[in-house]
Structure 1
């Protein structure tokens, strides 16, 4: 928890309590359904929560915005972002149903009113548009952008398009994708060893 408070301080008592509850909730659920690797659960706040909040550090999401988290897995980056932006609506999507069971339980345990979940493949989301797509390292950029484009509204009063979290040498992946993303090294925002070679990648 102190890793988060090292970089963010402007939280309400309710948000602080929600962030504090993340670890016991994920520990409890991880015993039943493994959504966070055993070695990562001890550094949940750095490797999952703070990592997710790199998006909040670079993108200010207006109240009422609608955001879809593609391939949310155990709820990252969607759940930490939903705590951070209580007036933004987050729709968390994954093709693996048992992971979403954990996401729903965690959201309920936190009392998050701004989270919905859907068990589906992203290509099967029809008749819905969002202001922004977020994702964490679930697929190559070329696929993420192909899936995101049909879901994004043409204009919003904040950031639009795709913002994803990626790691490693992305030169070939970006070249293949045919898009010109903006890239920000997370290490510049959170100078912790874990974030070396990790990036926030944004495609408008």
Structure 2
């Protein structure tokens, strides 16, 4: 948790409390359902929470924005982002019902009022969003086909509506068909070696 405070020194007490509560909550529920990789759980705040908050380093969601977390899994990146952006609505979407059920319990324990988990496949969701965030393992072109018609036409932000992908490694081939994509290397914001290959990719809905 000290890592979070290091890079986000202006968090309010309630935000610090909620972020500090995450590890114990996930430790408990991870024993029932594999929400977070047990191989990386020892490094929970770096590899999961701080990585997800990399989005908050490169972009601030405006109050009133509506954001879909596609394939949320254990609630990442949606839950950490919802704590940092309490005036933004986050819709957490996943096709695995048992994960959504546990996310509901985590949200209840954290008293989060701006998070709404839904058990559904993203391509079947009829809602429209300002932004989509995802820490998925699928290739960007596959995810793009799922979400290309999910955006609101009008933006309430200074940038166009679009998707923010948390990715790692060499993305040259994945981004060939997205020449307008913008890469934000997270090692520009975080000092730890884990972030050397990690990036946020922003692709506007144009």
Partner of 1:144: 143
Cα deviation per residue 1:107-152 (whole Å; 9 max; x = unaligned)? 11111000001111111012x1111110013311112222222111
Partners of 1:138 and 1:93 in 2: how far apart? 15
Partner of 1:23: 23
Indicate conservation of the 8 Å contact 2:178/2:203, yes or no: no
The runs of at least 4 aligned residues of structure 1 exceeding 3 Å deviation read none
Cα deviation per residue 1:19-60 (whole Å; 9 max; x = unaligned)? 110011000000111111112111111000000100011111
Alignment of 1:82-101 (within 5 A): 82-101=82-101
Q: Which runs of 5+ in 2 are unaligned?
A: none
* Equivalent position SS for 1:9: coil
Partner of 1:164: 165
Partners of 1:147 and 1:39 in 2: how far apart? 29
Equivalent residue pairs, number: 202
Indicate conservation of the 8 Å contact 1:71/1:138, yes or no: no
Indicate conservation of the 8 Å contact 1:179/1:203, yes or no: no
Alignment of 1:7-156 (within 5 A): 7-126=7-126, 128-156=127-155
Q: Are residues 1:174 and 2:169 paired?
A: no
Partners of 2:44 and 2:117 in 1: how far apart? 21
* Equivalent position SS for 2:144: helix
Specify which structure has the higher proportion of helix. 1
The CA RMSD measured in Å over matched residues stands at: 1.1
Partner of 2:190: 190
Partners of 1:66 and 1:179 in 2: how far apart? 26
Give me the TM-score of the superposition, normalised by structure 2: 0.95
How far off is 1:178 after superposition?
4.0
Q: Which runs of 5+ in 1 are unaligned?
A: none
Partners of 1:92 and 1:179 in 2: how far apart? 28
Partners of 2:132 and 2:167 in 1: how far apart? 14
